[in-house]
Structure 1
Amino acid sequence: MLVTLKKIIDELGENQAVPAFNVYGYEDTKVVLDVASSLGAPAVLMTNRDAVMHMGSRNLCNLLKSIGEDYDIPICIHLDHAKSMEEIEEAVKSGYTSVMYDGSNLPLNENIENTSRIVQFAKKYNVSVEGEIGSVGYSDPNIKIQGKYTDVEEAKIFYDETKVDILAVAVGTLHRMTGQEAVINYELLNDIEKKLDVPLVIHGSTGVKNKDLIQLAKTTVKKVNIGTAVRMTFGKSLKSQFNTEEFDRIKLFEKPMKDIEGVILEKYKLLGFKKTSY
């Protein structure tokens, strides 16, 4: 059942935040949906710019929609970190139900102007919009994007002007962290919560400690982005088989799919979804 991100967030239970997983094709998408279905939980399938450049928005969205037809759970297909109106338009017309515009490294007034235009466009298609204020940087030294904590007053101005459905904030995480070493600035998060009446998103959540994931689900954080943890597990599991005699693609993917299942299930449970059939 394809739904908007806003609908998923509106229907979350107490002390729950939905994990949003970056997916790249059939294998990881199927595992996310299998785990979510076993828990009776919603699924947010995110595609980043790398995946879109590799497959194209229409091909990727059609693949995810087709796989999702086998599941009786709420499913959102979300475009992550779009940098232009053209990317947003292509995704929306391809069938995405949620988009994120990332103008976080632009001047505030330009970020507001661009995001507002995207919100107005997306509303015509009943598509949710995520914006970002502050900037979540990268732990990868090859990516030259500097992190900057969210400024509370800027966040309020941004939300009041744009009325995004959900807002990504920078409170201590970095994209592509390979260890759980992030230090969450709860004082800043609390200040943001007091000033803004909007669900929040945490990016770069592979680096968030388990105890912090549990704590974040008790706040107004309602979406937690996870990519690196799944990619790392899948990649390492796949590489571990390269010295074997196996060459069949389907066989080679069996172990990685099983291994990421555990990662995905753990994140769901930490974020408030109780174990059922798994």
Structure 2
Amino acid sequence: MLVTLNDLMPEAASSQGAVPCCNVFGIEEAQAIIAAAEELNLPVILAVNKDMVDLAGVESMAGMLLPMARASSVPVVVHLDHCYEEAIVYRAIHAGFSSVMFDGSQLPLEENIRRTRAVADAAHAVGVSVEGELGSVPYQEGRDHIKSEFTDPEEARIYAEQSGIDVLAISVGNVHRMTEAGSPINFPLLDEIESATSLPLVIHGTTGITEADLRKLKTRRIGKFNVGTTLRMAFGNAIREAMAEEPNKFDKQYFAGKAIPALKQEAMRVLTLLAADKE
């Protein structure tokens, strides 16, 4: 079933677990991730990132993902990830995305509030949830213009109160696109942010965080963890192995099909890790 972040985040943020937000780049990833969520009977978020927006456009991605989300036996959010342009956010809303992220993290605080507020007002008018970011989560590679800046707790309070967002992405040592875990998380800073705002919080760069820290973080007021690199590695490595084993074959769909089980297995690992531990 298609849902919004507002259907999931209040409970997730107050529980001992969280919901993974998985980047999808095609139908294979979407099928594998939804299948993993259905097998575990857990909700999941499918995220469309800037690379896919630039390649395919939000309308094409909505056309692919929305029917799959609606047909799923578990709650599925179709979410627009980091978007810096309001025009694209509005196109995504019009196309049917149930959730959007306007990323004003590179802007001065007042401008970030003003522009995010306009997006939130438009999104909420049609029942779409909104994520914003304060501070700036850096990238290990790929987007050198993105700054690295911890979230300021007092600015987080002001931004949360005035921007109209539903969930707040924060920077506490997490880093996008790391291929190995090891990002040092600033837990004292997280304490201050949690004291400053009652909004559900979001962590980007999950692949770069150690399992021990993820187990701590999921028990805090973090309702959503963005996951991309570990899923891409599982899928890509499986395709590479299959192609090496059968060098005379060349059909994309054949090799993607060979790799889907590895991707589903990794998605199940992530879903299980971030879910509340069973007593």
> Is the pair's TM-score, using the shorter chain for normalization, greater than 0.5?
yes
Question: Given the alignment, which residue of 246, 251, 273 partners 1:248?
Answer: 251
Question: May I ask how many residue pairs the two structures share in their alignment?
Answer: 275
Preserved contact between residue 134 and residue 149 of structure 1 (Cα < 8 Å): yes
Preserved contact between residue 15 and residue 217 of structure 1 (Cα < 8 Å): yes
Preserved contact between residue 17 and residue 271 of structure 1 (Cα < 8 Å): yes
CA distance in 2, matches of 1:215, 1:98: 26
CA distance in 2, matches of 1:106, 1:190: 25
1:153-186, Cα deviation, whole Å (9 max, x unpaired): 1111111111310000000111111100111110
Quote how far apart the aligned CAs of 1:142 are.
Answer: 5.8
Query: 2:112 — aligned with what?
Result: 111
Query: 1:61 — aligned with what?
Result: 62
SS at match of 2:131: strand
CA distance in 2, matches of 1:162, 1:231: 33
Quote how far apart the aligned CAs of 1:224 are.
Answer: 0.1
Quote how far apart the aligned CAs of 1:255 are.
Answer: 3.0
SS at match of 2:2: coil
Quote how far apart the aligned CAs of 1:67 are.
Answer: 2.2
Query: 1:193 — aligned with what?
Result: 194
Quote how far apart the aligned CAs of 1:246 are.
Answer: 2.2
1:111-166, Cα deviation, whole Å (9 max, x unpaired): 01100111111111100000000000011166232211001111111111113100
Taking the TM superposition and a 5 Å limit, the aligned residue runs for 1:125-274 are: 125-140=126-141, 143-243=144-244, 244=246, 245-272=248-275
CA distance in 1, matches of 2:276, 2:73: 17
Preserved contact between residue 214 and residue 272 of structure 1 (Cα < 8 Å): no
SS at match of 1:241: helix
1:194-228, Cα deviation, whole Å (9 max, x unpaired): 11110000011110111111111100000000011
| Letter in structure 2 aligned against 1:89 | Y
1:121 aligns with 2:107: no
The runs of at least 4 consecutive aligned structure 1 residues that moved more than 6 Å come to: none
SS at match of 1:242: helix
Amino-acid identity (%): 36
- Which structure shows the higher helix fraction? 2
Q: TM-score, normalised by structure 2?
A: 0.94
CA distance in 2, matches of 1:156, 1:14: 22
Quote how far apart the aligned CAs of 1:247 are.
Answer: 2.0
CA distance in 2, matches of 1:84, 1:250: 33
CA distance in 2, matches of 1:143, 1:7: 34
| Letter in structure 1 aligned against 2:25 | Y
Q: Are residues 19 and 131 of structure 1, via their aligned partners in 2, closer, same or farther at CA, if it must alter by over 3 Å?
A: same
| Letter in structure 1 aligned against 2:4 | T
Preserved contact between residue 129 and residue 164 of structure 1 (Cα < 8 Å): yes
Query: 2:48 — aligned with what?
Result: 47
1:221-240, Cα deviation, whole Å (9 max, x unpaired): 00000011111221222122
Preserved contact between residue 39 and residue 274 of structure 1 (Cα < 8 Å): no
1:2 aligns with 2:2: yes
Quote how far apart the aligned CAs of 1:110 are.
Answer: 0.6
Q: TM-score, normalised by structure 1?
A: 0.95
1:53-92, Cα deviation, whole Å (9 max, x unpaired): 2111111111011223432111110000110110110000
CA distance in 1, matches of 2:133, 2:76: 22
